[in-house]
Amino acid sequence: MRQNSNSLAPFIPTPYYVVRKKLELAQIKDGEILFDLGSGDGRIVLMAAKEFGAKGVGIEHKLSLIEESRDKILELGITKSVIFIHDNIFKANLESADVVTLYLTTRSNERIRVKLENELKKGARVVTHNFPMIRWNPNNIIKIKEGNQTHTLYLYKWNPETKKI
Ligand SMILES: C[S@@+](CC[C@H](N)C(=O)[O-])C[C@H]1O[C@@H](n2cnc3c(N)ncnc32)[C@H](O)[C@@H]1O
């Protein structure tokens, strides 16, 4: 599929049971702030808020997906703790993030890596889906099998000293 130059990945939603695994793997807690970079239809942000008591920020460059996400905020009645921003991932300020989720590609992760390294606070957790951060050492990797599909989740706890050189 041809993508525009700003696009870091096409829209492929994470299945809901894998969304829950991501949030459990990150051990997201009540009141923590989660950013989903490329938030699609908003499912990760919305589950983080509804089931884990987190505050969620979704950044997505496709307007139709932002509109769909905002509609779900109203349906679920959780307007105070989530926000969906129609913008490019590179414009997000990640300094307040406790957890960042990414479902992009290895190449896109590599494009975002320096931004994460510059902005994340020590101890922030990053969960990537199927594609690792190739210069970081994961703290945990889990595989979730369903039928003939396997989802691999990588957990990183950001610490400048654990970065691979
Ligand atoms: C594989 S989907 C993942 C969606 C969601 N995070 C999930 O796991 O269900 C990747 C999303 O990133 C969005 N995206 C790609 N490049 C982007 C960019 N530069 N800025 C904002 N969103 C982007 C796509 O439109 C798509 O919705």
**Cα–ligand 1 centroid distance for 92 (angstroms):** 13
pLDDT in tens, 20-52: 999 999 999 999 999 999 999 999 999 999 999
Report residue 14 CA to chain centroid gap: 10
Q: What is the predicted pLDDT for the residue at 161?
A: 76
Look at residue 2 and tell me whether its pLDDT is greater than 60: no
- pTM recorded for the entire structure: 0.95
Q: What is the predicted pLDDT for the residue at 165?
A: 45
C-alpha span between 103 and 111 (Å, rounded): 13
Q: What is the predicted pLDDT for the residue at 67?
A: 97
pLDDT in tens, 148-165: 999 999 999 999 876 654
Q: What is the predicted pLDDT for the residue at 163?
A: 66
Joined tokens for residue 102: 């990414």
Query: Which mutation among 62, 67, 86, 88 tests ligand 1's pocket best, with the greatest number of atoms within 8 A of CB?
Result: 62
Q: What is the predicted pLDDT for the residue at 1?
A: 43
pLDDT in tens, 94-113: 999 999 999 999 999 999 99
Domain coordinates in residue numbering, the chain: 16-133
Residue of 125, 42, 126 whose CA lies nearest to 81: 42
Fold topology of 16-133: Rossmann fold (3.40.50)
Query: Which mutation among 3, 4, 5, 7 tests ligand 1's pocket best, with the greatest number of atoms within 8 A of CB?
Result: 7
**Cα–ligand 1 centroid distance for 27 (angstroms):** 22
Ligand 1 proximity of 6 Cβ (cutoff 6 Å): yes
